[in-house]
Amino acid sequence: MRRADLTGLTGLNRSTIAGLVAELAALGAVTQEPGPPARANPPGKAGRPSPVVRTCPETVQVLAADVAVGHISMALVGLGGSVVARCTAPVSDGSPEAMAALLVSIGRELMGRPEAGRKVVGLGVSVPGVVRGRDGNVRFAPNLGWEDAPFRDLVAQALAAQGLGSLPVRVGNDGDLGALAEHLRGVARGVDDLVFVEGEVGVGCGVIIGGRALGGAGGYAGELGHMTVRRGGRRCRCGARGCWETEIGTEALIRALGLPDGSAESDVVALLRVGGPKRVAQLDTVAHFLGIGLANVVNLLNPRLIVLGGLLRDLYPMVSARVGEALAGAALAAPMEQVTLALPELGGDAVLLGAAEFAWQDTLADPATVLG
Ligand SMILES: [Zn+2]
């Protein structure tokens, strides 16, 4: 991309962009080459060609981690969202301390694969829970069984214990990070009002309104998985009854499909992919509550786009008619006319790539701090 185009895209002035690009080039994250001469120059302007800036994903990367129920996925990600290496490991001890130590050891292994001149500049971590923005404290992650876990500090301590103490760490909510990635690089590029819904054991959501992430007073906004959609419904792990996630999350799918309790997500996905009228009928109630929850989202937030991630990627196409019926029945006409439902363009990687973008933010804001 031409450096002049970066000026236009970011709204930053030419000298600020030139300075940032020079620092990123010194770091090795980008290269600059002389660009082709401009086709037409205004009269009287010599018009030096704008340099062409290219990312170097093989040289400088961040570590991204997606902490889920039962496993951790990690990747080394270059500037521009390219995954250079990845690894998923099952979790045997789900305590915050053990998860932090496991996460760092997976990260170390990924970084340890020898690549000459590689530099890792940050670690972004996604957690399926309510995360305090200012210090990465996980206030409540009901499906992990965590309450007030100082997870950013625990990860920082594990990094120090494993000899990687200088790596800056950021911890965010899975839905927020999925929204960030789809907004920057996925199906929601150019869409400034969107909701991302990650359906797994829990239902994580991220909201971007007017191009800005909706954080709320403490960074906890957008816990749409705990909207009440069914009065007197099942008890949720948060303590309430009839939350959206108890009606459409993995466990609801397991029950609806008649799978044994405790079945793996992969078993659910396998059945969803088989499809067929019998499965569609079994999923009727789940589809209804997916539509009811989406109607609440539409009425409350007036999004242009709702991105359905996680298990919803396989569920929604199967039951879209039933979802649409419930949605149209409960949503107001005006916001309903403006919304489109979509699947994530980044597939199952939306949250992981969002964690990477989150980790890049410090470096991109001030590359000089990483250069030391
Ligand atoms: Zn709940």
pLDDT in tens, 320-334: 999 999 999 999 999
> What mean pLDDT, rounded, does the chain reach?
92
Residue in 101, 97, 110 with CA at minimum distance from that of residue 161: 101
Confidence of residue 3 (pLDDT cuts 50, 70, 90): confident
User: What spacing in Å lies between the alpha carbon of 237 and ligand 1's midpoint?
Assistant: 6
Q: How far is CA 15 from the centre of its chain?
A: 32
pLDDT in tens, 54-94: 888 888 999 999 999 999 999 999 998 999 999 999 999 99
Q: What is the mean pLDDT of residues 108-134?
A: 86
User: What spacing in Å lies between the alpha carbon of 290 and ligand 1's midpoint?
Assistant: 15
pLDDT reported for residue 14: 87
User: What spacing in Å lies between the alpha carbon of 353 and ligand 1's midpoint?
Assistant: 26
User: What spacing in Å lies between the alpha carbon of 331 and ligand 1's midpoint?
Assistant: 22
User: What spacing in Å lies between the alpha carbon of 225 and ligand 1's midpoint?
Assistant: 7
User: What spacing in Å lies between the alpha carbon of 239 and ligand 1's midpoint?
Assistant: 6
User: What spacing in Å lies between the alpha carbon of 107 and ligand 1's midpoint?
Assistant: 32
Q: Above 60 in pLDDT, residue 116?
A: no
User: What spacing in Å lies between the alpha carbon of 130 and ligand 1's midpoint?
Assistant: 12
User: What spacing in Å lies between the alpha carbon of 244 and ligand 1's midpoint?
Assistant: 7
pLDDT reported for residue 35: 84
pLDDT reported for residue 83: 95
Distance from C-alpha of 205 to C-alpha of 218, rounded to nearest angstrom = 16
Q: What is the mean pLDDT of residues 138-152?
A: 96
The model's pTM is 0.91
pLDDT reported for residue 113: 61
pLDDT reported for residue 33: 87
User: What spacing in Å lies between the alpha carbon of 21 and ligand 1's midpoint?
Assistant: 45
User: What spacing in Å lies between the alpha carbon of 245 and ligand 1's midpoint?
Assistant: 7
Q: Above 70 in pLDDT, residue 47?
A: no
Strand 212-213 versus strand 146-149 pairing type:
unpaired
- Helix (H, G, I), strand (E, B), or coil: what is residue 152? helix
Residue in 180, 156, 181, 149 with CA at minimum distance from that of residue 170: 156
